Amino acid sequence: MSPALWRSLYLVRRETLSRLFSFICCQRIIARFGAVGGFVVLLKQSSHFGVYSVLESSAFIILSTSHHTSTMNSRTQRLALAVGATALAAYPTAMVASSCIVHPGDTLRDIALRHATTVQALSAVNNISSSAELKIGQMLTIPDAALALPPYALAGNDLDLHTASRDDSVVRIARLYGIDPTALARANGIGVNAPLADGAVVAVPGRLGRMNALLTTIAADIAVNPPLLRAVAWMESGWDQSFISPTGAVGIMQLEPSAGEWVSHVIAHRPLDLHRADDNVTAGGLLLQHLLDRHDQSTEFALAAYYQGEKTLQDVGMYADTKRYVADVSTLMEAESDGEVPLFAPQHDL
């Protein structure tokens, strides 16, 4: 990919919210532009909040929404590109909480997913068994390294929007999402101890890292190929659990309610709620694995059946848009393997 194309890709997206660059793309930007960290970049303020970000080692910036033309000069634009130069592979260490206290009901799995890591990494850094029973009040160290995002997810929406309740606080919300309270406060232009009005919307960075951890963890739980599950989820929804299609397909894996009920009864043998991210990904992953088994582990035909429906696939073969879907998911998987950003729009318009 040419330097001019890379410049175009990143400058076009410079004013969208919370763009998180992976280490592999950061290295390519460094090689092409000679970018270095340590600069302070002033970003335009949106109607909700503005962000001043220092590009330090292992830092990242949140790029605030704006519908106006950028006023950044060419030098500042080049510095903005340098954000990737010192970013962590997938999840910014400036945002990740370095430790957490076990609360009632917490499990290692819950804590790992909140902090965009794995049970194995969490248990290893704390020198405990992955099946260890946690004690309320126990302090756990959060691993420094996080799961790397696939390159196609780098320009995705990285914000969760949390609607505050009367009892919410910055610290409580930060614990809920596994990020540093100070970083959360700064991202929203408020203080750590600032009161939150009932119904206030708090922007919580790190959505992509948390979703990546969820997809990777569930893929391991149900023995489905992780790059396949991640790519299908990206094509279907951009890893957006809140997305409901015009036909009623739900969440990350875009399953119709009838398909969710079928997977619950026939494969999972337990109720799966498609409106919960964990269950949604589980249902989609189990369905993919079922289709792979039915089609002799052919990824091509399993994807076609997932997208088009198995009956019509058997009756009339692949539609033209099904062939495009299969090709696009395959491209995403190859992109993750090669570390390249694919140059096509996903199925779901993000």
214 and 289 assigned to the same domain: yes
- Verify that 266 and 245 share a domain, yes or no: yes
Query: Would you say how long the chain is, in residues?
Result: 350
Task: Report the CATH number that the domain containing residue 113 is assigned in CATH.
Answer: 3.10.350.10
**How far from 112 is each of 44, 71, 145, 213, CA to CA, in Å?**
34, 40, 12, 8
Q: Are 170 and 64 in the same domain?
A: no
Sequential pLDDT tens for the chain (350 residues) = 333 333 233 332 332 323 333 333 333 333 333 332 322 222 222 323 332 233 333 333 333 333 333 333 333 333 333 333 223 334 444 566 788 899 999 999 999 999 888 898 899 999 999 888 999 999 999 887 557 889 999 888 999 999 999 999 999 999 999 999 999 999 999 999 999 999 999 999 999 999 999 999 999 999 999 999 999 999 999 999 999 999 999 999 999 999 999 999 999 999 999 999 999 999 999 999 999 999 999 999 999 999 999 999 999 999 999 999 999 999 999 999 887 666 654 555 44
Count of other CB atoms within 10 angstroms of residue 55: 22
Q: What is the pTM of this model?
A: 0.70
β-bridge partners, 139: 101
Residues 9 and 79 reside in one and the same domain: yes
Domain identity same for 334 and 263? yes
Domain membership of residue 106 (yes or no) is yes
**Number of domains making up the chain:** 4
Calpha distance 165→20 (Å, rounded): 28
Which domain does 29 fall in, by range? 3-86
CATH number at residue 241: 1.10.530.10
Close Cβ partners of 89 (under 8 Å, ≥ 6 residues apart): 22, 23, 24, 145, 146, 147, 148, 149
31/72 same-domain check: yes
218 & 319 share domain? yes
